[in-house]
Structure 1
Amino acid sequence: MANLRVAVDVGGTFTDICIFDESTQSMRVTKVPSTPDNPMTAVLNGVRRANINLTDVELFSHGTTVATNALITRKFPKAAMVTTKGFRDVIEIRDGTKDDLWDAYSDVSGPYIRRRDRFEVPERVDFAGNVVTPLDEDAARDLGRLLRKREVDTVAVCFINSYANPAHEIRMREILAEELPGASISTSAEILPEIFELGRFNTTVANAVLGPLVSGYVENLDRSLTADGYTGELLLLHSGGGSMTSEVVKRFPVRLAASGIAAGAIAAQHVAEQCGFANAVGLDMGGTSTDISLIADGELRETNEWQVEYGHPIVFPSIEVLTIGAGGGSLAHIDIAGSLRNGPQSAGADPGPACYRRGGTEPTNTDANLWLGRLGTDLADGEMTLDRASSRAAIESTIATPLGLDIDTAADSIIKVANANMADAVRLVSIRRGLDPRDFALIAFGGAGALHGADVAKELDIPSVIVPPSPGVTSALGCLLVDIQHDLSQMYTGAADAADADVVEEHFRTLELEGRDRLRHEKVAEEDAVFQRGISMRYQGQWRSLQVKMGSGQKALEEAVQLFHEEHEKQYAFRQDETPVEIYQLHLKALGKTPKPSFKPSPVSSDDPGEPIEIRDVHFDGSWHRTPVYQRENLPSGAAFIGPAILNQIDSTTVIPPEASAVIDEWFNIRISLPTATGGEAAETTASDSTQSAV
């Protein structure tokens, strides 16, 4: 019987593979270099490298950067947009904002579909869904013929009030299907039936331009896995923290944008729960970037509007993650004012850091860590040998000599700037919302997260750092912890105190019928289907709304209003109970439960870490320290350390600085305790209670 669950996460530098064996309750991991030109090559290389027999695989889950990279590089197929007459420029006019309000010379990048490829047809539906101007089918058919001559591969159909009545979009799609056989067609009423046209149009346009690219990738990967013996569904992680089958991905490819980023946040939530922390910050530092996520009161923060590029909103529920250009491959450089900078430019997988000896000549964080002794010369279990001399040459020529610094100070400065950038990002997701990072634990993972985690925590006065058992592939683990998930919504505007509870209930049942239908197509058994309701509300006169949980029954709406007041006070520090509340939108998460690994704690066996594999000179705080280096895989649960110490493993390296202490817990996480200026402690529950509940 199939007994393996495999997760693959494609990163900018490495592709991570995580294999959980149900029969032995054990996990193993491996890494292979990413192949940016064809990410599927790295996925299949990883399967082969891990010696996975696909006939033994029960579940194959995949987080991918294909959609995100396509939106960044804008390597799109020939695409067109069809819209209501007079609304051709909605996605170009946008909302008038800028990423940097004070930079008069910085413009927002252009739309994903150029103006010459955006077309209008006569039609009009009013806000209530009444037909004001019928669709001009002759004009629609003429346009279809024109698009065929232009050899258009994909079309976004965006009519102004289609969220209220999709009939015209449905008919336009039928006409285009006749005139453009084989083309991918996305309609805004299907993709995002919401009122505001900018978000709806742009999300539909993004879905359209990604359609052929993502469909081709998914089909080829699915075919290759099937040919090698895999008989299950290929599941792909989406930005909302759930997964979709390959067939659904072809309809909603835009949901794969930020796929891999969400995986890391989900894994951080799992580790925080396992270790008894209700509040935690996820620090996922890879080769190219660092992703910061926030877990507050045990819940990951979500957002309903985000973008890969500023000014081009994607309005699907997504786990809120802040990404900055700070990774192992981030380049250190001197700006025009003579100041030391770190990132966002990256050496990537090719040519990589100077120490890779693949042609890179500029210093990176990896080069600085290598020179300072924090990183060993063997990487990925000896698969790659790093050259310290190349790192020194790059740091000296680019940073040390121009700034008049010695090599040690220059390398240390590179690391300090990178840590300051990450600490600033943590402040943005915490302090900006009135949350004190000192009340949180830091979950440090990714290939480089464990190298920098303790230093970042010290900068923020965070007392506890947790490093998962396999930090370099923790994001891949996140792919194994999610369910199939669809996020459905429906506009419903009106005063909450005048709303008919039975009518609201009927709307939710309609959404649940659609959710059941989607889950049925994904072969989810009826007993594995779960539905979670939500409702967006706002105070009368407000523009923005706030989503809260919604129950069922006659009292559900009244209870939701009370919850809205409470959540509004939490997020915005005020509430107005006397002000009328308006319903804005209904939401439904349709979940299909999937098998998940069940982790068991290991009894604490010894606090003795044993003999180190070597003693290495490592640079901390301006001086060199004789530092023991341990092989993490050999350490028992309960092993304790007093810093400085270095813990090596196949996928990452953990740095425990001087004055810090660390212990390997029963889950084989490394728990690092740091001295703080305030003497504060993280919000940790009783370890025995929390770990048992996490199981």
Structure 2
Amino acid sequence: MTDVHSAPAQERYRIAVDTGGTFTDVVVGSGRGEMAVGKALTNYDRVFQGFEAAVHRAAESVGWNGPDVLRNADVIVYGTTHATNAVLTGRVANTALLVTDGFADTLLLREGGRRDAFDSKAAYPGPYIPRRLTFEIRERISSEGEVLTPLDEAQAREVLTRLSYDGVEAVAVSFLWSIINDSHELRLGELIEEILPGVPYTLSNRANPTIREYRRSSAASIDASLKPLMADHLGNLRSDLLDNGFAGDLLVVTSEGAVLDVSDVLDRPVLLLNSGPSMAPLVGAAAAPDRETVVVCDMGGTTFDVSLVEKGVVRHTREAWLGEPFVGHLTGLSSVAVSSIGAGGGSIAWIDGGGLLRVGPQSARSTPGPAAYGRGGLEPTVTDACVVLGYLDASGFEGGFVLDRDAAEEAIASRIAGPMNMSVEQAAQAILDVSANHMATAIRHASLEQGVDPRGALIVAGGGAGAMVAAAIGGLLETDTVLIPATAGVLAAYGAHRAPIATEFLSPLHNDTLAFDSESAARAITELKAKAADFAERFDGVGGAPEFTYFVDARYPGQAWDLRVRLVGPPETDGNAAEVIATAFHEEHDRRNGTHDPRSRVEIISWGVRVEVSRPENLNIQVASGGSPQSHRTDQIIFDGESYATPRFRGVTLGPDDSLPGPAVIDQPTTTIVVPPEWNATLDDRSNIYLTRKEA
């Protein structure tokens, strides 16, 4: 094995970074396949500072030089929750929406759903863009693409001139049936450039070319509102990287479970929504490619994310709401299907008006952080509970500082233990129990809604805090095995190293398998092939040969929603394409819904292709020889209210087939794995750790 400490300064590197709400995680790979990981607190004012600190910690852990790593990096893959957080908090650009005359309420009415279908008095929540900044433009195009009402350019000019005085920072345009004929949207774009030079804008047919009016308008509105923000955010990052000598390619993680060049993302920042959690499932898919179903859990400092992998394929969705379903915001774009709740290591414990203990969704984040961080935090968190119970090694915590146990005890004592008449240890255990129950419930909801019983699935747990509660969650879900990947502490960042360069193209041309229009189908496929080929050509030589996956969005007549159906290859539109599509749709409908109607015709709503260019991944996880695991010390650790003399092991000393009976704690560089008394831990030949329940 190559000695990583001898890596020369001219060595080339690849860096993947995941900027979370509390920590920034990095995985650094050298050209020789060596790997280093690091973690540092996220800096909200200047994201590069947390990134740089994490890179330096990773480099120092294996004897590399941090500044050299940045200077000699060929590729940096950047993942961030900045766009999602901005939308959820409303901290986006002051944006105007221009719509077809008569359709100003599209964003208000959404798709007509309610949280409670029987509550007729529930008021509609406000639209993403307020009505005072929504303007109706006189124009109309039919569903066949015919111009019914020409674009009133004089009125459009008046509206745009008014926007110049209203402090508008971005503009979204969404005209009816622009997916069939986009001439009016294109012309309005030209007028925006003329009258509002320098103001970013988004045309709905480019943001999301879908037949669904609300989703197209919502995608355009969110995309436009993010353009100034993300141009500033990514611009600052690029500037800081250049100042530190970086001259390589900057790729950005998208919600599709892929990466794109930073220029593509700046042109279409809506792809960043929900992108943060999209990488972890890639690690889950690689860790257990042969399992029928894998439930991937990523617990960071702020959130707990759940996703499903079926036979090695990550599940995607176009129903990813930002906020609550039906009353939040929806783009309709394809993204990795992830359910998130506010249950991370920094989730704050509190007592509600009824005297019940609650945990989250509020988070201490990186500033001020949990009380144990010693950065001014006074609220007790899950991390503080883990410190009090003895799970976390206060002196060996990876993050650039020493944990303050006294501060953790004081926070829990004053805010929880005292008011609830408990000891500090009892209160800490209660905080952990409540948090674990929240996470187990989230897994049940995410899996059962998709027809998956979590008791029969493999649970893959990761994130900086996930391995501490993995066994507790496994117990609540009645599963016998939980897998902790070797890179669990930096799950999303490691996934970014594996992520392909990929995107999707859509052609929203309606068709019908009973009265199949082969001419329009051929036109759609030809258009998709051309776009896919152009995209693949841009990345020729960067990775492996491009892969093209064709699909249709289809439904039975009268259905409100459609299904995405993947096809073996591009449909032979002059052959039996209608029969092939109908058969594939019936099978997918039966798999997803447990029923199908083989005698029914199928409506095709849109045609699509996903282009994927794999990126070479040659990281070698360092594996010790193992064979005789030795603890480096024994601590008194509390499990279910009882104190146990518990050996602590350094993960870097453990090797294949090493087995540790619980109770035990394994200290990894970026996470801590807790093995309760009723569980065992076993390592495989890739340093993954399997937690298995002891036989009764």
TM interval, short-chain normalised: over 0.9
Deviation of 1:189 after TM superposition, in Å, equals 1.0
Instruction: Write the deviation string for residues 8-48 of structure 1: whole angstroms up to 9, x where unpaired.
Output: 1000001011011231x221101111012332332233344
C-alpha distance in 2, partners of 1:532/1:65? 28
- CA change 1:356–1:220 in 2 (3 A) is closer
Deviation of 1:505 after TM superposition, in Å, equals 3.8
- 2:460 pairs with 1:451: no
- 2:676 pairs with 1:657: yes
Deviation of 1:256 after TM superposition, in Å, equals 0.7
Equivalence map 1:447-596=2 (5 Å):
447-501=464-518, 503-521=520-538, 528-550=545-567, 551-552=569-570, 553=572, 554-596=575-617
Deviation of 1:160 after TM superposition, in Å, equals 1.4
Aligned to 2:443: 426
**1:203–1:254 Cα contact (<8 Å) kept:** yes
- CA change 1:128–1:183 in 2 (3 A) is same
Aligned to 2:40: 32
Deviation of 1:112 after TM superposition, in Å, equals 2.8
Which of 337, 344, 347 is the aligned partner of 1:327? 344
Aligned to 1:295: 309
Unaligned runs of 5+ in 2: 1-9, 60-65
C-alpha distance in 2, partners of 1:252/1:307? 18
* SS of residue in 2 equivalent to 1:135: coil
Greater CA deviation, 127-136 or 345-354? 345-354
**2:543–2:614 Cα contact (<8 Å) kept:** no
1:640 partner letter: S
Which of 31, 37, 44 is the aligned partner of 1:22? 31
- Kindly report the root-mean-square deviation, in angstroms, between the aligned alpha carbons of the 2 structures: 2.2
1:251 partner letter: D
Deviation of 1:438 after TM superposition, in Å, equals 1.5
Deviation of 1:573 after TM superposition, in Å, equals 1.1
- 2:389 pairs with 1:372: yes
Aligned to 2:6: none
TM-score by length of 1: 0.92
Which of 413, 416, 426 is the aligned partner of 2:430? 413
Instruction: Write the deviation string for residues 438-491 of structure 1: whole angstroms up to 9, x where unpaired.
Output: 211111110100000111011101111111223221110111111111111122
1:666 partner letter: D
Equivalence map 1:200-215=2 (5 Å):
200-215=216-231
Aligned to 1:647: 666
**1:291–1:324 Cα contact (<8 Å) kept:** yes
Aligned to 1:609: 629
C-alpha distance in 1, partners of 2:22/2:597? 49
- CA change 1:123–1:521 in 2 (3 A) is farther
Deviation of 1:518 after TM superposition, in Å, equals 3.5
Deviation of 1:406 after TM superposition, in Å, equals 2.5
* SS of residue in 1 equivalent to 2:503: strand
C-alpha distance in 1, partners of 2:173/2:515? 35
Greater CA deviation, 614-623 or 378-387? 378-387
Count of matched residue pairs: 672
Give % identity. 34
Deviation of 1:107 after TM superposition, in Å, equals 5.7
Aligned to 1:690: none
TM-score by length of 2: 0.92
Deviation of 1:494 after TM superposition, in Å, equals 2.7
1:378 partner letter: S
1:420 partner letter: N
C-alpha distance in 1, partners of 2:693/2:505? 44
- 2:173 pairs with 1:157: yes
- CA change 1:676–1:431 in 2 (3 A) is farther
- 2:620 pairs with 1:620: no
Aligned to 1:667: 686
2:173 partner letter: V
Aligned to 1:691: none
**2:509–2:520 Cα contact (<8 Å) kept:** no
* SS of residue in 2 equivalent to 1:517: helix
Which of 204, 212, 230 is the aligned partner of 2:246? 230
* SS of residue in 2 equivalent to 1:498: coil
C-alpha distance in 2, partners of 1:291/1:137? 47
Aligned to 2:136: 120
* SS of residue in 2 equivalent to 1:314: coil
- CA change 1:557–1:674 in 2 (3 A) is farther
Deviation of 1:584 after TM superposition, in Å, equals 1.7
Greater CA deviation, 632-641 or 173-182? 632-641
C-alpha distance in 1, partners of 2:368/2:242? 33
* SS of residue in 2 equivalent to 1:528: coil
Greater CA deviation, 231-240 or 450-459? 231-240
Instruction: Write the deviation string for residues 288-330 of structure 1: whole angstroms up to 9, x where unpaired.
Output: 1100111122221111122222331121100000000101111
- CA change 1:393–1:223 in 2 (3 A) is closer
**1:33–1:349 Cα contact (<8 Å) kept:** yes
2:395 partner letter: D
1:417 partner letter: V
Deviation of 1:141 after TM superposition, in Å, equals 1.7
- 2:67 pairs with 1:60: no
